[in-house]
A and B are shown apart, each in its own frame.
Chain A
Amino acid sequence: NAGVMQNPRHLVRRRGQEARLRCSPMKGHSHVYWYRQLPEEGLKFMVYLQKENIIDESGMPKERFSAEFPKEGPSILRIQQVVRGDSAAYFCASSPHKNTEAFFGQGTRLTVV
């Protein structure tokens, strides 16, 4: 679990600001998944990326949210003009191949005030 690094662990933003969440996958993993979790709920799929490509973004809101996984560097989940409803825990997971086990980071807890 510790192999997938997410930062920051906690992020506070005012309404209208931008939030940037970072995820460094485990070494050798080229597949990254982002999930959102509200209190007392399961994980809701947002987006699946492979190096430099978005494979499936069907779970991501069409406005204000974007994700990337560049050739070099971490995967970034970007939320523009945050609203209170964006407050949640955002988790990233990585896997070495498609359709294999995924390993999670510790999450970023976003609070919009």
Chain B
Amino acid sequence: TQLLEQSPQFLSIQEGENLTVYCNSSSVFSSLQWYRQEPGEGPVLLVTVVTGGEVKKLKRLTFQFGDARKDSSLHITAAQPGDTGLYLCAGVWGSQGNLIFGKGTKLSVKP
């Protein structure tokens, strides 16, 4: 059972288009993190959302945490080829504090 479900799994768009990817769970998380991973590299942290309903912006990227803290979305405006990569959401789970990941959305932006 996957605690964090990400959709879509794959997304291929043209440069300049907008897109939204989702991270959903039936469980409540105290916070969710978004990472971007490029081929052959480790994931790089983009943002952490903590408060239900919170919206954070990072240039053309907008992150939102659901009111119930069970889901999050990432919206990219005017996508560029440099946005290509695997977008992963992650959350702290359990009393031990494990950081668990969704399977990711693989984004390809064509020039």
- B 8-27 to A, binary, CB cutoff 8 A, 1 in contact else 0: 00000000000000000000
Q: How far apart are the CA atoms of A35 and B35 in the complex, in Å?
A: 14
Contacts of A42 in B (CB 8 A): 6, 86, 88, 101-104
Determine if B48 and A101 form an interchain contact, defined as CB atoms under 8 angstroms apart. Answer: yes
Q: How far is the CB of B74 from chain A (nearest CB, A)?
A: 15
Binding stretch for chain A, among B37-45, B55-63, B64-72: B37-45
Q: How far apart are the CA atoms of A47 and B60 in the complex, in Å?
A: 35
Determine if A35 and B101 form an interchain contact, defined as CB atoms under 8 angstroms apart. Answer: yes
Question: Given the interface contacts A42-B102, A42-B104, A43-B88, does A103 sit within 8 Å of B45 by beta carbon?
Answer: yes
Contacts of B33 in A (CB 8 A): 101-102
Q: How far is the CB of A10 from chain B (nearest CB, A)?
A: 10
Determine if B88 and A99 form an interchain contact, defined as CB atoms under 8 angstroms apart. Answer: no
Q: How far is the CB of B95 from chain A (nearest CB, A)?
A: 9
Q: How far is the CB of A32 from chain B (nearest CB, A)?
A: 11
- 16 further A-B contacts with Cβ under 8 Å, apart from A59-B98, A93-B99, are A4-B42, A41-B103, A42-B101, A45-B99, A45-B101, A48-B98, A55-B96, A58-B98, A91-B43, A93-B42, A99-B30, A99-B31, A99-B92, A99-B97, A102-B45, A107-B41
Query: Top 6 A-B pairs ranked by shortest CB distance?
Result: A104-B42, A42-B103, A56-B96, A43-B101, A98-B97, A42-B104
> 8 A-B Cβ contacts within 8 A?
A33-B98, A42-B102, A43-B88, A45-B99, A93-B99, A98-B97, A102-B90, A104-B43
